[in-house]
Amino acid sequence: MTVIAHISDLHTSKSDFDEEVFMQAASEINNLKPDMIVLTGDLTGHGYYVEFEQAKKYLEMFEAPLFVVPGNHDARNLGYQTFEELIGERSWKLSVGEDLTVIGLDSSSPDEDRGHIGGPQHMWLEHQLDECVINENFSIVALHHHVISIPQTGRERNVLSDAGDILKTLTTHEVDLILSGHKHVPNIWRINETIVVNAGSLCSTKLRGNIRNSYNVYNITDDEIEIFLNNVGGEKLLFGKYPRNEL
Ligand SMILES: [Fe+2]
Ligand SMILES: [Fe+2]
């Protein structure tokens, strides 16, 4: 079984970051001993250098390998450059063994909140997914912005501006999981054979209504995918259970 923890939207800053919640979440996730952690953006509140330094310090507390894509907040104030300096590449491809591929996309634009993948990155994505199909890989694509509207988030604003084309590429290549953040609301949609999962905010105080800080856990076996919604310091709920796609 492969276990992936999906975290998002830490928002390190003077005002919106809850250190106590982060420490609780880090302890829970380390106890789970996941094979990897995927962080879908908004590490920082404003993309400031000092916030990235703060984020890096906290992220080093995770024991599992961590893979990160930037969010709209990380692209502010030259944060897209700082991300590369302190965190790593803004888009990447990771092969785990012979069966699993995780692709990270940069959906941010400097000093804009909108989500956008754009032509060159879309072409790169298609090429990577072609290889996943040929190799019959279980494929996961992670990006900050949502590819389809999320309930309980009011007026739609920042869904990917090229969501239709990206969704077509992802679903026609039968990507198994799409992981996003941004809205601070956990959710699952299923589009064709693809499971589209949003993570809530791990430890930011920017929460809607009574939605709590949370993270998702994916247990992937040869037969099925189990998705758990883990409220930090609270209930761990089975969020969804799906048979693996026939290859
Ligand atoms: Fe956020
Ligand atoms: Fe965001």
Give 224-237 pLDDT, tens digit per residue.
999 999 999 999 99
Q: Phi then psi for 112, rounded to 5 degrees?
A: -130, 150
Q: What is the CATH number of the domain that holds 70?
A: 3.60.21.10
Q: What is the pLDDT of residue 23?
A: 98
Which protein residues have a CB closer than 5 Å to ligand 2 (ion)? Answer: 42, 71-72, 182
How many whole angstroms from 11 Cα to the centroid of ligand 2? 9
How many whole angstroms from 18 Cα to the centroid of ligand 2? 17
How many whole angstroms from 233 Cα to the centroid of ligand 1? 20
Give 63-111 pLDDT, tens digit per residue.
999 999 999 999 999 999 999 999 999 999 999 988 999 999 999 999 9
Q: What is the pLDDT of residue 246?
A: 61
Q: What is the pLDDT of residue 56?
A: 98
Is 7 in contact with 199 (CB distance < 8 Å)? Answer: yes
Q: Which domain covers residue 61, as residue numbers?
A: 2-243
Q: What is the pLDDT of residue 245?
A: 66
Instruction: Choose the weakest-confidence range: 38-42, 53-57, 96-100.
Output: 96-100
Q: Report the domain count for the chain.
A: 1
pTM of the model: 0.97
| For residue 247, pLDDT beyond 60 | no
Burial of 54 (0-12, 13-18, 19+ CB in 10 A): buried
Residues 6+ apart with CB under 8 A from 83: 43, 52, 70, 74, 75, 90
Interatomic CA distance for residues 32 and 223, integer angstroms: 21
- Starting at the edge strand found earlier in the chain, the sheet holding 194-198 runs 92-96, 100-104, 138-142, 177-180, 194-198, 187-191
Closest CA to 216 of 29, 54, 35, 71: 29
Reported confidence tier of residue 214, pLDDT bands at 50, 70, 90? very high
